[in-house]
């Protein structure tokens, strides 16, 4: 979609090396962020996040399911991403499949913490209703409505906001049934439990253009990147996941440098996102 | 299940099903208008609340969000631009109109993953394309392509109607020349009562669902679909009701367009079109290009 002339490319690269980008931002500055919660009433939690011209809608749905045999004491979370053709005409038909899968896998890596779920953003044992029998399955869906670069960071932010908006119905289990039978569950429509979302990480993608790297790249800037490193960092400054994209190789020392910059940037981003979340919650009430 | 309360005559969501005779004026009550930030909310007597907003997708040439009650869709228009796949171009003298309908994973009550391009989506894509094509002045944009993408965010009955209405607004936002505005609305027949703008509960009750699309100004029907059987004379009433609904939506879309300053004059400044348009405004300030001057 991005068609740039030689002059424009030169202008973008030159701006980045001089720490003033085409939209006037500095290299480590995010675009304006806007947050809205409860946009999908049918879901247990939902959010719309806009980062410049990038717009994401995330929804969280909870369904009662059966825990896996390997982890009888844990619930399940799955993340799916769909890129709507409204964002870009090339996403039409099956055109978005590759990108959607890439984004879903990257989010799973950063938020769910491997197959065991040990490093997960959400404590999976809090999703259990009856051990080995009933648990909550969380389905997290991200929809890219409008795309102007930095989809991964926006998706992770949207999921963080949607999770903080999520209320899981309280479940009453009747214990009278025999142990081998299916327990009867009564799902309350009035009482909801909130998650502890303080440990949900954010993702900061550092896009390398020329010899410098920038945060929150627009799609024009992304078209000029040599490689990008996405780092997911939680509130405590712990790195929860890493993804490197792009063809060009990176010097290991540059990677370490990028990680420490990402950690520093994420502190401000988390604080900014938190204040936006509380603003959105106050507006919803 | 009682879809129309025998005592009060209210519908499941509290709307009043009014009897409709051809002489019955619509809307029955004066519409309630709330206006804020160039978004207009309008309540008509029988219809769910309408909400339309343009320019919701920043990078698209034209876009709109349209809500009918809990049904919420986004439409984005890209074009007119060069034909991407030359093989699809049938007639080089007219613009190629394409459409894709997609439902978000979370749009329905129970969440299940459906394969892309299933039969229902393909059918609705086709219906929307044909309906919009009927109103776009395709001969003014030869050798070009217009893409309409509709994304359902929430489905609560009447998605194809909402998609057509959203597409109309998005096309107006993109400044694409059109003959007339196309609007669509559905109506059904339950508990011996014609009902306008069915929601999901009423839609899945098994009664007939008549979806009508009209060219509002010209008063022509461009889309008509019905499932289930219905006696001829009742069908007339139900279709009449749906048409009245379409007209109410047309009123709404005109108002939304007005407050957003959208009219077809925008085409003159459209980045893609370098021709000049000489046109005249019809009564409701909708421009009908009567003469097209340019060098190609």
Model confidence over A187-211: pLDDT tens digits?
877 788 887 888 899 999 999 999 9
What local confidence, expressed as pLDDT, does residue B282 receive?
A: 35
Kindly report the average pLDDT of chain B as a whole number: 78
What local confidence, expressed as pLDDT, does residue B43 receive?
A: 52
Whether B92 is covered by a domain: the verdict is yes
What local confidence, expressed as pLDDT, does residue B112 receive?
A: 67
Contact between A88 and B59 using a beta-carbon 8 Å cutoff: yes
**Mean pLDDT score, B173-200:** 89
Across the interface, of A63, A143, A146, the residue whose CB is closest to B57 is A146
If we measure between CA atoms, which residue out of B267, B290, B92 comes closest to residue B176?
Answer: B267
Least confident of A53-57, A239-243, B6-10, B146-150: B6-10
Please name the residue of chain A whose CA is at the shortest distance from the CA of residue B58. Answer: A53
User: Is the pLDDT reported for residue A149 higher than 80?
Assistant: yes
User: Is the pLDDT reported for residue B28 higher than 80?
Assistant: no
Residue A275, classed as helix, strand or coil, is helix
CATH of the domain at B273: 3.30.230.70
- Of all residues in chain B, the percent with pLDDT exceeding 90 is 32
Would you call A7 an interface residue with chain B, using a CB distance cutoff of 8 Å? no
In angstroms, what separates the C-alpha of B106 from chain A's closest C-alpha?
7
- Of all residues in chain B, the percent with pLDDT exceeding 70 is 76
Q: Is A272 exposed, middle or buried (0-12, 13-18, 19+ CB in 10 A)?
A: middle
Least confident of A27-41, A148-162, B5-19, B50-64: B5-19
What local confidence, expressed as pLDDT, does residue A61 receive?
A: 93
Contact between B106 and A53 using a beta-carbon 8 Å cutoff: no
**Mean pLDDT score, A7-20:** 94
How many domains would you assign to chain B? 1
Angle, alpha carbons A183-A187-A192 (nearest 5°): 135
Q: Between residues 33 and 72 of chain A, which touch chain B (CB distance below 8 Å)?
A: 39-43, 46, 52-53, 55, 57, 59, 61, 63
Contact between A141 and B147 using a beta-carbon 8 Å cutoff: no
Could you tell me if B153 and B103 are in contact, meaning their C-beta atoms sit under 8 angstroms apart? Answer: no
Least confident of B178-187, B218-227, B287-296: B287-296
Q: Hey, what are B106's tokens?
A: 């979370």
Least confident of A176-185, A228-237, B69-78, B138-147: A176-185
Whether B15 is covered by a domain: the verdict is no
* pLDDT tens profile B244-289: 889 888 888 888 887 777 654 444 334 333 333 333 333 333 444 4
Whether B211 is covered by a domain: the verdict is no
Global pTM reads 0.86
Q: Which residues contact B109 (CB under 8 A, 6 or more apart)?
A: A42, B200
* pLDDT tens profile B152-170: 999 999 999 999 999 999 9
Q: Using the 8-state DSSP alphabet, how is residue A25 labeled?
A: -
Please name the residue of chain A whose CA is at the shortest distance from the CA of residue B153. Answer: A40
User: Is the pLDDT reported for residue A178 higher than 70?
Assistant: no
* pLDDT tens profile A88-105: 999 988 888 999 999 999
Whether B105 is covered by a domain: the verdict is yes
**Mean pLDDT score, A53-64:** 94
What local confidence, expressed as pLDDT, does residue A3 receive?
A: 79
In angstroms, what separates the C-alpha of B203 from chain A's closest C-alpha?
18
- Of all residues in chain A, the percent with pLDDT exceeding 70 is 94
Whether B74 is covered by a domain: the verdict is yes
Whole domain around residue B262: which residue ranges?
Answer: 32-179+258-293
| CB half-sphere exposure, B108, CA atoms < 13 A | 9
- Rounded to a whole number, what is the distance in angstroms from the first to the last CA of chain A? 40
What local confidence, expressed as pLDDT, does residue A172 receive?
A: 82
User: Is the pLDDT reported for residue B294 higher than 80?
Assistant: no
Would you call B149 an interface residue with chain A, using a CB distance cutoff of 8 Å? yes
Distances (CA, A) of B48 to A215, B37, B72: 43, 21, 12
Q: B18: pLDDT confidence band, cut at 50, 70 and 90?
A: low
pLDDT top residue among B149 and B205: B149
d(CA B111, CA B76): 25
In angstroms, what separates the C-alpha of B109 from chain A's closest C-alpha?
6
pLDDT top residue among A270 and B88: A270
Q: A119: pLDDT confidence band, cut at 50, 70 and 90?
A: low
Whether B194 is covered by a domain: the verdict is no
Least confident of A117-126, A230-239, B47-56, B158-167: A117-126
Contact between B57 and A87 using a beta-carbon 8 Å cutoff: yes
* pLDDT tens profile B108-150: 877 766 666 688 999 999 999 999 998 999 988 988 999 999 9
Residues of B in contact with A82 (CB under 8 A): 104-105
Whether B118 is covered by a domain: the verdict is yes
**Mean pLDDT score, B185-211:** 88
**Mean pLDDT score, A56-74:** 90
Structural domains for chain A: 9-284 (3.30.230.70)
User: Is the pLDDT reported for residue A143 higher than 50?
Assistant: yes
d(CA A95, CA B241): 40
d(CA B275, CA B282): 21
What local confidence, expressed as pLDDT, does residue B26 receive?
A: 40
Mutation target for B interface from A61, A86, A100, A146: give the one with most B CBs within 10 A.
A86
Whether B109 is covered by a domain: the verdict is yes
Would you call B74 an interface residue with chain A, using a CB distance cutoff of 8 Å? yes
* pLDDT tens profile B35-62: 544 555 555 557 888 888 888 998 899 9
What local confidence, expressed as pLDDT, does residue A79 receive?
A: 92
What local confidence, expressed as pLDDT, does residue B24 receive?
A: 33
pLDDT top residue among A141 and B272: A141
Q: Between residues 216 and 275 of chain B, which touch chain A (CB distance below 8 Å)?
A: none
What local confidence, expressed as pLDDT, does residue A83 receive?
A: 94
Count of beta carbons in the 10 Å neighbourhood of residue B213: 31
Would you call A23 an interface residue with chain B, using a CB distance cutoff of 8 Å? no
Distances (CA, A) of B211 to A73, A200, A236, B245, B246: 50, 45, 55, 10, 10
């Amino acid at each position: 979609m991005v068609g740039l002339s030689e002059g424009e490319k030169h202008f973008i690269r030159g701006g980045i090396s001089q720490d003033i980008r085409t939209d006037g931002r500095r290299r480590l500055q995010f675009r304006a962020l806007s947050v809205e919660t409860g946009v999908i009433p049918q879901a247990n939690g939902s959010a719309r996040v806009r980062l410049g011209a990038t717009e994401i809608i995330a929804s969280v749905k909870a369904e009662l399911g059966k825990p896996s045999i390997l982890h009888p004491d844990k619930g399940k979370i799955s993340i799916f991403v769909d890129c709507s053709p409204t964002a870009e005409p090339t996403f039409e038909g099956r055109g978005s499949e590759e990108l959607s899968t890439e984004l879903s896998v990257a989010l799973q890596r950063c938020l769910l913490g491997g197959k065991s779920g040990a490093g997960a953003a959400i404590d999976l044992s809090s999703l259990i209703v009856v051990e080995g029998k009933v648990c909550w399955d969380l389905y997290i869906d991200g929809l890219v409505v409008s795309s102007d670069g930095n989809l991964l960071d926006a998706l992770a932010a949207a999921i963080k906001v949607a999770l903080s908006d999520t209320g899981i119905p309280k479940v009453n289990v009747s214990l009278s049934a025999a142990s081998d039978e299916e327990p009867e569950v009564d799902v309350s429509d009035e009482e909801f439990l909130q998650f502890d979302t303080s440990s949900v990480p954010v993702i900061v993608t550092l896009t390398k253009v020329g010899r410098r790297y920038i945060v929150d790249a627009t799609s024009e800037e992304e078209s000029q990147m040599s490689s990008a490193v996405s780092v997911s960092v939680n509130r405590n400054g712990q790195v929860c996941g890493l993804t490197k994209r792009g063809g060009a190789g990176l010097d290991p020392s540059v990677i370490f440098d990028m990680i420490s910059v990402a950690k520093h940037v994420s502190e401000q981003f988390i604080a900014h996102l938190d204040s936006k979340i509380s603003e959105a919650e106050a507006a919803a009430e | 299940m009682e879809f129309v309360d025998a005592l009060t005559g209210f519908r499941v969501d509290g709307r009043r099903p009014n009897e409709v005779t051809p002489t019955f004026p619509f809307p029955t009550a004066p519409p309630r208008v709330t206006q804020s930030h160039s978004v207009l909310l309008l309540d008509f007597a029988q219809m769910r609340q309408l909400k339309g907003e343009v320019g919701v997708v920043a990078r698209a040439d034209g876009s709109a969000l349209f809500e009918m009650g809990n049904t919420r869709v986004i439409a984005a228009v890209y074009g007119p631009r060069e034909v991407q796949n030359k093989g699809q171009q049938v007639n080089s003298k007219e613009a190629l109109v394409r459409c894709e309908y997609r439902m978000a994973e979370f749009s329905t009550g129970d969440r299940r993953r459906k394969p892309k391009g299933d039969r229902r989506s393909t059918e609705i894509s086709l219906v929307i394309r044909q309906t919009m094509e009927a109103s776009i002045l395709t001969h003014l944009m030869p050798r070009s392509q217009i893409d309409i993408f509709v994304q359902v965010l929430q489905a609560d009955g009447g998605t194809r109607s909402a998609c057509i209405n959203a597409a109309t607004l998005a096309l107006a936002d993109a400044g694409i020349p059109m003959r007339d505005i196309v609007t669509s609305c559905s109506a059904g027949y339950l508990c011996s009562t014609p009902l306008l703008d069915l929601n999901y509960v009423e839609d899945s009750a098994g009664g007939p669902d008549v979806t009508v699309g009209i060219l509002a100004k010209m008063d022509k029907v461009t889309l008509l679909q019905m499932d289930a059987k219905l006696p001829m004379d009742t069908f007339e009433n139900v279709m009449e009701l749906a048409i009245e609904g379409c007209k109410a939506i047309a009123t709404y879309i005109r108002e939304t367009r007005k407050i957003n300053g959208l009219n077809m004059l925008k085409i003159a400044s459209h980045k893609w079109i370098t021709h000049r348009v000489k046109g005249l405004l019809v009564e409701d300030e909708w421009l009908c290009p009567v003469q097209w001057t340019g060098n190609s």
